[in-house]
Amino acid sequence: MANTQAFYAHLNSELQSIREAGLYKSERVITGPQGAVVHTQDGREVINLCANNYLGLSSHPKVIEAAHEALRSHGYGLSSVRFICGTQNLHKTLEQRLARFLGTEDTILYAAAFDANGGLFEPLLGEQDAIISDELNHASIIDGIRLCKAKRFRYKHNDMADLERCLQEAQAAGARFTLVFTDGVFSMDGTIAQLDKIREITDRYGALLGIDECHASGFLGKTGRGTHEYRNVFGKIDIITGTLGKALGGASGGFTSGRKEVIELLRQRSRPYLFSNTVAPSIVGASIAVLDLLEGSTDLRDKLEANTAYFREAIQAAGFEIKPGTHPIVPIMVYDAVMAQKLSARILELGIYAVGFFFPVVPRGQARIRVQVSAGHEREHLEKAVAAFAQAGRELGLIKA
């Protein structure tokens, strides 16, 4: 039998092979709050284009004040799961407010959206049922589906004909209930799921429809409700999961929203809810303030939309190719992994922080810099960013001089 020393040697060799494959992920340390501009450990100030801080709320004064207020009124933490002594009036309020915002009946909070997806499928569906999933769905959806005994079907990304093939196969397999589940927005390309078409198809087959709104809640659609509003199927989605850790404040926490009986059963059976601590009061109080802001005015999502349109236009005018679309996720296509890393390193020297994505995060030969525009950006930030991309792109021969 191998000894423990061999185990640690094995881990070191695994780590070495990750490094040698060029896939090692290192973490850049910033020394202050998240925002349009962040400070790096070497004391530099850089414009940040890679946070999920879509509405600039991560360090918004009203959000910070609401967190302080809840900390004062409801304490630091609850030292409990929800069903023992971890539920405050604040938690019940936030759940109701999220349901109203999303156009559903009720909501259940989790420590993270990863947990919401991880604990969603197993309590609701069994062996007799089927789950149909877009092949590019988020890792947490894939893991959640693995924990469930339902039959699994996977359709080609965003391919409606292939979705229909899966529905036919599920039907032929005699599935009792069928749930189609998709990201509302796919984070690598900024692709917005065709929920209007998916709803029409699922209705024809009598299937349920669930969506993960992590990259949509708070800003997509005319009043920022999400992909269902953007695609004109607001109020017609069976299950919505999402995060408090991106546009809706950026701290942490997740949720599942839907019909009363779905939420009620999740409270009884969903393991990450039953066996993990309640969301901290400061986050819950701040999230209620976020919903106050977003229901009171569409200014932030409007500014994000204008910033996104400007950046998409300007970066193309500078000679770069981007994935077309309207989402604030803007993939600047470089194709080559080494070149993507060089471009990212050079723009950082020029004061712009945006990282390269390459295999295995995106398919081989599809390397890119993924920019995420924010309502926290002023026009000047975006102009500087485009100028830096243009300079670096010319130096590296990516665009014409």
Ligand X SMILES: *Cc1c(COP(=O)(O)O)cnc(C)c1O
Catalytic residues: 187, 215, 246
Q: Report the residue number, 256 or 344, with the smaller CB distance to ligand X.
A: 256
**70's tokens:** 């809840």
363: burial class by Cβ within 10 Å (0-12, 13-18, 19+)?
Answer: exposed
In whole angstroms, how close is the CB of 188 to ligand X at the nearest point? 10
Judged by the rule CB under 6 A, the positions of this chain that interact with ligand X are 112-114, 117, 138, 140, 183, 187, 212, 214-215, 243, 245, 254
Q: CA-CA distance, 355 to 202, in Å (whole number)?
A: 37
Least Å distance, CB 207 to ligand X, is: 21
Give dist(CA 401, CA 389) in Å, integer: 12
CA-based Rg of the chain, rounded to a whole angstrom?
22
What is the closest distance, in whole angstroms, from the C-beta atom of residue 117 to ligand X in the complex? Answer: 6
Angle between helices 299-317 and 379-395 (to 10 degrees): 20
Report the residue number, 258 or 393, with the smaller CB distance to ligand X: 258
Going by C-alpha positions, the residue among 149, 226, 145 that lies closest to residue 185 is 226
| Residue owning tokens 């890792």 | 139
* Token pair 């030292």: residue: 79
Residues 6+ apart with CB under 8 A from 306: none
Output the six-digit token pair for 223. Answer: 């009043």
| Environment class of 319 (CB within 10 Å of its CB; exposed 0-12, middle 13-18, buried 19+) | middle
Residue 297 CB, shortest distance to ligand X, in Å, is 25
Cβ nearer to ligand X, comparing 108 with 175:
108
User: Could you tell me the smallest distance in angstroms from the CB atom of residue 213 to ligand X?
Assistant: 8
On the CB side of 173, CA atoms within 13 Å amount to 20
Give 194 or 316: the residue with its C-beta nearer to ligand X. 194
* H or E element at residue 108: strand 106-110
Q: Select 56 or 249, whichever has its Cβ closest to ligand X.
A: 249
